[in-house]
Amino acid sequence: MNAYRDQYAQLFKNGKNVVLIAISADVDTALASWARDAEYPFLFASDTGSAVGKAYGAFHPQYKVDNRNLFVVGPDGKIAYRATPFREIDPTAYTELSAAIGKLVPADSTAR
């Protein structure tokens, strides 16, 4: 999560026309306190029943948590890119994600 925070401007265009939602089975208060302590500038969603994790195929039945799967949903509501799992220590994972977002969000849109 720290990498998303530290690269928020480059990767997620500071949230302009890109919405990052981090999802886990934690309760919302645990997510809020972590976000406050670590100063995460993005949104969290609390999927305590793991229904959304299951719907997206991110839920791991053995460990009862979500795998680090990442989906980019385009403006049309369809999945435009996926990283299953997102390899957070691999620099190419960020290059690929940035390219996928760049295809959907024109570079000049940050000026709007």
Partner 1 sequence: MLATLLLALVQQPAAAPAPPPPPALDVGAVAPDFALPGATRFGTLKNPVRLSDYKGKTVVLAFFFKARTRG
Enumerate residues 46-85 that contact partner 1 by CB under 8 A: 46-48, 51-63, 65-75, 77-82, 84
**27 three-state secondary structure:** coil
* 94 contributes a contact to partner 1 by CB under 8 A: no
93 binds partner 1 (CB under 8 A): no
**In the complex, minimum distance from the CB of residue 111 to partner 1, in angstroms, rounded to a whole number:** 16
Q: Which is nearer to partner 1, 36 or 92 (CB)?
A: 36
Token duo for residue 73:
């949903």
Question: Nearest distance from residue 14's CB to partner 1, in Å?
Answer: 13
Structure tokens at 106: 């024109």
Q: Is 99 in the site for partner 1 (CB under 8 A)?
A: no
Report d(CA 112, CA 108) in Å as an integer: 7
**Binding residues for partner 1 restricted to 11-50, rule: CB under 8 A:** 12, 17-32, 34-36, 38-48
**Cα distance between residue 104 and residue 73, in whole Å:** 9
Distance CA 104, CA 25 (A): 29
Q: How far is the CB of 20 from partner 1 (least distance, A)?
A: 5
